[in-house]
Amino acid sequence: TAQRGRMLYVPRIWPDVGGPKVLGTMQILTLVLCSCSGETAALPWDLPANSSWEHQGGVVFIHTESSLYSLPCSPIEMEVAHPTYRWVQDRAASRLFSVTKEGHLLFQHFQAGNSGNYSCTISYMKHGVPVSQTFHYSVFGYHVLGGLDAVLLFHSKLCEDERTKRFLQDLQDKLRQLEIKQHCKLHLTATFCFPSLNNPSDDFIVQVQLEVSPFGPYWDEHCNSQDAETVTDCYHKTVRHNLGQVQLALTRFFKEHKSFHLTGPDIPSSNFTNEFVGFLKTKQCSGGYGQTKQLQRCLDCCIVCPPGTSSPPKTSQCSPCPVGTYSPIYGVAFCTPCKDGMITRVPGASSMMDCVKKERTKQAVSIVHRIPVLILIMLPALLALNFLFILSSCYWFYREYRVSSPWASKITGRTKRMEMVTSFFRIPRQGPQAGPDAGPASDTSDVDISASQGGNEEPTGGAPSPAVTSNLAAVTDETTPVLTQEDRKDTF
């Protein structure tokens, strides 16, 4: 419970001595007297400099499915004449709130979606001047750990979807009275149908899974009188007690309702006979809640996930919405995907406005922003230099092509062949001073090789040409010894 106090007012003792001129003169005299005495000037009849104040009321935690929770407008009780109260909630459309005469905001059967930021403004008159004070609250839903999973097995002669659906409806109708009496909620989570091992052709097993929540209607009626510091302990005890009672009640129920007989004009008569009832106690957060450890008096309690996050069932953490999804409200189990062709820039989006076209993703935007301005300024100069380089390359290529004419290529080929012949005969290459009788260098390729080999063979071509004679004479002038025919005979 909030601390209670009163705002006291001192009666006004300074008379109204006249109009604005007389009042202004008295203010000036008072300022002069206070300045001479060294004290701070304070006019008793001055009206408040500010006619409105903002206060942070703090964080408020309200348990899920609380029967009734009363949130006062001000943490401290204020006694003012004819006050008016106005409650608003952020991030929500305008709606009517249940407000008491004292300005308390009432929550009945609190849900995760009721979480959010609330503001209450109290307005009143003070010395004939309108005054307002606004108090801001952050409201979070939470719940203590505790739950129960039930597994039921039924035998049936047929396994048809329509017949099983009708059976489940009848089962839920009969369990509804048990929910009210035990202050719990029963949620059908899954159903399976498969052949029996004993007689697969004529006997089938229908498996039904139920999730039991201890937070049914008026589950906390024994804790309403507790204050905020001790109410959480009361919730823990109540949950443990209620879960034990629900387990006993379900066991007793299926002993009394062993068989469920279905008849109707559109389906044939059939029976579903219960053969097994099993229970498993769980301590997991509900969908849309996570163990964020915000509530100091209950660190293992599950706190509602704020916008931009989600928590699937049977998990214990609130995770940011992945890229491409968002969650605008509190207590979301699964984030909402963006429309086709749209995506969010970063994880944890909390509004549909955070969805943008895929072309404008964060990567594309970041690349544009990372381009230095200097590069944008130097880009024209770089393009000009690149163009000049291409022109110069084309010019030098054109020059090289013109120099490499067909006549020059023929001369180069003949020169190479002459070098090969001279290297074979070990004939030194003649310089450009050779006489005109020597003939062109290309004629050396026509020399008969047999003329230089000697032996018993005679030349078949007759007398050597002048060109050959001159070449042989040049050979005898060299320091390298040349074997004659007679010398070669002596060697044998």
- CA gap 94, 356 in Å, rounded: 27
More confident residue, 483 or 420: 420
Question: What is the pLDDT at residue 103?
Answer: 92
Question: What is the pLDDT at residue 416?
Answer: 59
Please say whether the beta carbons of 66 and 220 come within 8 A.
yes
183 and 278 in one domain?
A: yes
Amino acid at 85: Y
**Which residue, of 282, 308, 342, is where some domain finishes?**
282
- Structure tokens of 450? 């047999």
Residue range 23-48: average pLDDT?
Answer: 40
Highest mean pLDDT among 87-101, 185-199, 320-334, 441-455: 320-334
Other Cβ atoms closer than 10 A to 122: 18
Has residue 487 been placed in a domain? no
Has residue 193 been placed in a domain? yes
223 and 104 in one domain?
A: no
Has residue 437 been placed in a domain? no
CATH of the domain at 91: 2.60.40.10
pLDDT in tens, 132-172: 999 999 999 999 999 999 999 999 888 888 888 889 998 99
Q: Total structural domains in the chain?
A: 3
Say what angle helices 161-182 and 231-256 make with each other, to 10 degrees.
130
Coil, strand, or helix at residue 116?
strand
DSSP-assigned states of every residue in 205-218: EEEEEEEEES--TT
Has residue 227 been placed in a domain? yes
Question: What is the pLDDT at residue 253?
Answer: 94
Cα Rg, the chain, nearest whole Å = 52
Eight-class DSSP state of 272: E
**Which residue, of 282, 307, 324, is where some domain finishes?**
282
297 and 250 in one domain?
A: no
Mean pLDDT of the chain: 75
343 and 245 in one domain?
A: no
Please say whether the beta carbons of 468 and 421 come within 8 A.
no
Domain assignment of residue 173, given as a range: 147-282
Q: Which residue has the tokens 């919730």?
A: 235
How many angstroms separate the Cα of 221 from the Cα of each of 185, 215, 216, 291? Answer: 16, 11, 11, 25
pLDDT in tens, 325-384: 999 999 999 999 999 889 999 999 999 999 998 865 445 445 545 556 667 777 788 888
More confident residue, 29 or 394: 394
pLDDT band (50, 70, 90) for residue 414: low
177 and 99 in one domain?
A: no
Has residue 196 been placed in a domain? yes
331 and 268 in one domain?
A: no
272 and 297 in one domain?
A: no
More confident residue, 227 or 30: 227
Coil, strand, or helix at residue 121?
strand
225 and 118 in one domain?
A: no
Say what the pTM is: 0.61
Candidates 211, 190, 191; CA nearest to 282 is 211
**Which residue, of 362, 387, 408, is where some domain finishes?**
362
How far apart are the two ends of the chain, measured CA to CA in Å? Answer: 137
CATH of the domain at 323: 2.10.50
pLDDT for 317 beyond 80? yes
278 and 173 in one domain?
A: yes
Coil, strand, or helix at residue 456?
coil
pLDDT band (50, 70, 90) for residue 29: very low
Has residue 6 been placed in a domain? no
Has residue 161 been placed in a domain? yes
pLDDT for 433 beyond 70? no
278 and 165 in one domain?
A: yes
pLDDT in tens, 164-178: 888 999 899 999 999
Question: What is the pLDDT at residue 53?
Answer: 86
111 and 155 in one domain?
A: no
pLDDT band (50, 70, 90) for residue 91: low
pLDDT in tens, 457-491: 444 444 444 443 344 334 444 444 444 444 444 44
Query: At a CB cut-off of 8 Å and minimum separation 6, what does 310 contact?
Result: 288, 318, 319, 321, 327, 332, 333, 334, 335
Has residue 67 been placed in a domain? yes
pLDDT in tens, 251-265: 999 999 889 888 777
- CA gap 339, 150 in Å, rounded: 38
156 and 267 in one domain?
A: yes
